[in-house]
Structure 1
Amino acid sequence: MNLQRFYIYRIRQIIRKKVFLLIPLFILIILLSVFLLKPHILPEKRVRILKINIDSLITSDNLNIDRLIDDLEGKNYDGILFVLNSPGGNLDILRIVNTLESIDTPKFCYINGEATSAAYWLCVHSDYIIARPDSIVGSIGAYIEVIDISKLLDKIGINVSIIKSTPYKDIGSGYRPLTEFELEYLKRVVERVTDDFVRDIASRRNISNNISLSGLWFLAKDAKDMNLIDDIGEYEKMLDYISKFYNTSKENIVFINKEYKYKKPWYSNIFNFRGFIEEIASKVLITKIFI
């Protein structure tokens, strides 16, 4: 009888030891299961990307730049994606570029056809640039257009009198040719803007090649060879890059699409004769710096 009790006691001890050994293994199995099944049990946090579409000149005449800057400075987004097809703009680009420089939100740029001059300057303030294979990129520099119609006015017998407060108040007016001093002055203005533009591009893209910074535009393949862009591909390639950047699936990325182009009524070009005349006059009367 005592021997039987002894065997029962020993069997119980052995079972207890095995149970104690199995408990950590059982806990480990549970933890591994939770880790592996987590994506299926707990939904991933959505990645919110502000997608900014620009397909026009980057100027305050074409775009609501105030609203664009307000959105860039908002804290509701995990990233910003620019989709650009723009030939450039004017000095309004500096407001956008300075804003991008002040925020640490990850930024991406997809060139959907063209990003030259001011549009490329915007791109360079992104963390990664992909261009569509048939895109053109570059045209780094600035210029001023002055249309001189004084000889035409003489031929048709129109005389224009300009009453001005100082000798150079009407510099760039199309009603008279530029003086030699004015021409040199405007050249210096263009050079100043171009120097800032080139210095920023060269620094951010680590470029020292004079050809890249010469004002020429390049096809996507050449632009990549010159380090003006990071990669070439269709839009899907940019989506792949963004999903890898955030270590999430493409399905988990939410794009908030925004456009800032001013929309004119369909009839404005037909009935707005005054607007048409003002547009023509602006080309003659106002000197603008184009980037």
Structure 2
Amino acid sequence: MRRLFLLFVFALSAGGPFRTGATERGTTLVVATYNVCNLFDTINDPGIADEVPTPEAWQRKTERLGRTIGAMAPDVIALCEVENAGVLDALLGSPGLAGEGYRHIHYDSPDRRGIDVALLYRADRMRLTGAEPIRMATDYPTRDVLRAEFSVAGATRPLVVYAVHLPSRRGGYHRATRAREEMAARLDAHAAADSAAATVVLLGDFNENPSSRLVRRRLEGWRPLAAGAHGRGEGSYAWHDVWLMFDQIFVGRGTVAEEARVFLRQGMLTRTGRFEGYPDRELSDHLPVYTRILLR
């Protein structure tokens, strides 16, 4: 497992996240995505297969997530595997995020496990002008796609963000693959309709690598910003001693954006035992991914 850790020696010494703000060319924003791995509350809800953490585990996870996201300092971040608006309220009140001006967007979805996507955004830098869940007409009950539109000071074009968590292989490989293909095609159609008038960003857990057949076939019009990092052996999720870049950020071909980077700080990886070098599951089994984009 040690070799997983060694791939990220540079990332640990790479310094903080990108700075944001107005420039002569436009306004820069940090956008990010993070699968926060079963962010459930301590209430057992009938009808969904939710996990119920102890109050102590819930508090530790919430506080660690708040500090992690706060250290990354994104202007907008997609969160995957969020149970409800209540856990987001608690997260925004935790150390690292309390008082930082973040608000959240969330809608309940038909996922069997009760996990949804959500967005956090800096209300002092971005004004929400519209949001909606996009229900994917599929026989595979899963998360909705969340679409949000923002007006950003210093930018003439609006920003449209799609938060995505495509189905995993848990419900059967072939069935889940078909659902991912269908959802990715519909996501592409929705986002393409926005791209003429807005800067569009697709971000979330795609359960696929940047080089996958799905990305090449269904998202060919979008630039996978994490492709370079994945090509160097980096990733956001570890499986069988291999780093996978399932957490991705896509932008339109004409959007000015930095290469996406994996965010890693001391304490985010398991230190000892069988899963040494893997993401610490008490925090999340994924690592966040972020980039900086330029809005004009």
Q: TM-score, normalised to structure 2's length?
A: 0.26
* Structure in which a larger fraction of residues adopt strand: 2
Report which of the two structures shows the higher radius of gyration computed on alpha carbons.
1
* Structure in which a larger fraction of residues adopt helix: 1
Q: TM-score, normalised to structure 1's length?
A: 0.27
